[in-house]
């Protein structure tokens, strides 16, 4: 038993509605562009920070040298230092 279902022909002049698809594509494109810009700016800042650290890698040594000079004591001075601290 063969049954035949009658399907109506599509109207060639009727426009399909793609509004939802266009909105979804626009939102997806905007999010992708925003993520790309965010990664670019983040990478650029990281590169600048790394370059700054590379240029000023030994600045802390210059600051450290400006501190106090270590006093070198002689064996003969130890007795005077001990007596001075006990007084």
pTM, full prediction: 0.44
pLDDT tens, 4-42?
565 667 777 788 888 999 999 999 999 999 999 999 999
Can you spell out the DSSP letters for the chain? ----PPPPPPPTTPPP--HHHHHHHHHHHHHHHHHHHHHHHHHHHHHHHHHHHHHTTTHHHHHHHTSPPPPPPPHHHHHHHHHHHH-
pLDDT tens, 1-14?
556 565 667 777 78
């Amino acid at each position: 038993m063969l049954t035949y279902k009658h399907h109506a022909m599509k109207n060639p002049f009727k426009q399909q509605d793609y509004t939802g698809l266009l909105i979804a594509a626009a939102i997806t494109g905007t999010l992708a562009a925003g993520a790309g810009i965010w990664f670019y700016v983040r990478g650029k800042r990281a590169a600048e920070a790394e370059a700054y650290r590379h240029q000023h890698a030994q600045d802390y040594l210059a600051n450290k040298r400006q501190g106090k000079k270590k006093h070198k004591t002689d064996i003969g001075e130890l007795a005077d230092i001990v007596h001075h601290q006990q007084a």
